[in-house]
Chains A and B, each alone.
Chain A
Amino acid sequence: MDAVLRAAVIYGFLLVIFRIAGERTLASLTTFDFVLLLIIAEATQQGLIGDDFSVTKALLLVTTLVGIDVGLSLLKDRSRLLHKLIEGVPLVLVADGTVLADRMHRRDFHYSQIERAEAIVSVVKGPGRRIPCRHSATV
């Protein structure tokens, strides 16, 4: 019984705390972010496993974590609110060739990242042409 409860608590806690911390793509991960991830993995391991060295416990934990993940993604498909809560919403950062500085600032996004995005999909700037925000300048 404790395997499911431990896994659920850790999963829920990590979900909330990473949502609070803000979203960040894997590419913009700093070395320290990466080290922090390793430490978090190490810290949660104790809470998950406790003093149980059995293989069964490990299998049950993995099953529960994957089960919660699958269940949550099924629920996300049904509920838009839940989807927005967990995944966040897309945000337009550049519209009609204008950079929305306030949004950029609050999303902790830099001009250099937009330039990179432009290079990838060759964003067309200028009046009358909408930037394909879907692929480039949304986070």
Chain B
Amino acid sequence: MDLDTDVNFQHRIWTAQRIGWLIIGLVILATLLGMFGNGPLSRASAQGNGLRLEYERFGRLQQPTRLRFLLPPSKHDTEVSLGRDYLAAFQIDHITPEPKEVASTGPWLTYRFTGPGPLVVTFDVLPLEFGRLEGSAAISPSAALAFQQFIYP
């Protein structure tokens, strides 16, 4: 028989396969840990000036992600401002509780809620763009919290 064999090549393929299996295992592990969203590695929070924000570091395109704000007590109504550049990359599905009003001031969108607080507000948002997104949130525009999210396509 005249077969075009190449044992060395086959050995290289086998080695490549082993490496491939290892990579598959690592990807599964990373997914379980939350490297691609929903997991311990993805959980993140930012804190400052009385405002606390809990968010997902990694998200996926068109997959809902949640921003959870812990607003400090205030004299009148509680409010939180979000950067408009950031919000442009998202579609806002729900805000709980419903804001009393939304005001636009410069680069900020300010959501005002009835009552003096403290208050927990959740934003359920849908990423419409992928890549690295820079967000900013604030109680008063002078002292903003910066946070970053990475959205996978």
A67 to B28, CA, bound (A): 8
CB-based contact B38/A2 at 8 Å: yes
Are the CB atoms of A1 and B39 closer together than 8 Å? yes
Q: How far is the CA of A24 from the CA of B5 in the complex (A)?
A: 35
- B31: nearest residue on chain A (CB-CB)? A4
Distance in Å: Cβ of A54 to nearest Cβ of chain B: 4
Q: Are B32 and A56 in contact (CB under 8 A)?
A: no
A137 within 8 A of B: no
Shortest CB-to-CB span from B98 to chain A, Å, is 23
Give the size range of A's interface with the partner: 10 to 19
Cβ–Cβ < 8 Å partners of B61 in chain A = 53-56
Q: Chain A, 34-70, contact with B by CB distance < 8 Å: what is the 0/1 string?
A: 0000000000000000011111110010011011001
Chain B residues contacting A4 (CB-CB under 8 Å) are 28, 31-32
Contact A63 B63 (CB under 8 A): no
Residues of B within 8 Å of A60, CB to CB, are: 27, 31, 36
Whole-angstrom distance from the CB of A68 to the nearest CB of chain B? 8
- The residue on B at minimum CB distance from A67 is B24
Establish whether residues A57 and B60, one from each chain, have CB atoms under 8 Å apart when the complex forms: yes
Give every chain A residue within 8 A of B63 (Cβ-Cβ): 51-54, 57
Please state if A1 and B27 are interface contacts (CB–CB under 8 Å): no
Among A55, A60, A70, the one with the most B-chain Cβ atoms within 10 Å of its Cβ is A60
Sampled A-B contacts (6; CB under 8 Å): A52-B62, A52-B63, A56-B36, A63-B24, A67-B25, A71-B25
Given contacts A3-B31, A52-B62, A56-B152, 14 further A-B contacts (CB under 8 A): A1-B34, A4-B28, A4-B31, A51-B63, A53-B61, A53-B62, A54-B62, A54-B63, A54-B153, A56-B60, A56-B61, A60-B27, A60-B36, A63-B27
Pairs A-B, 6 closest by C-beta atoms = A54-B60, A1-B39, A56-B152, A67-B24, A1-B38, A53-B62
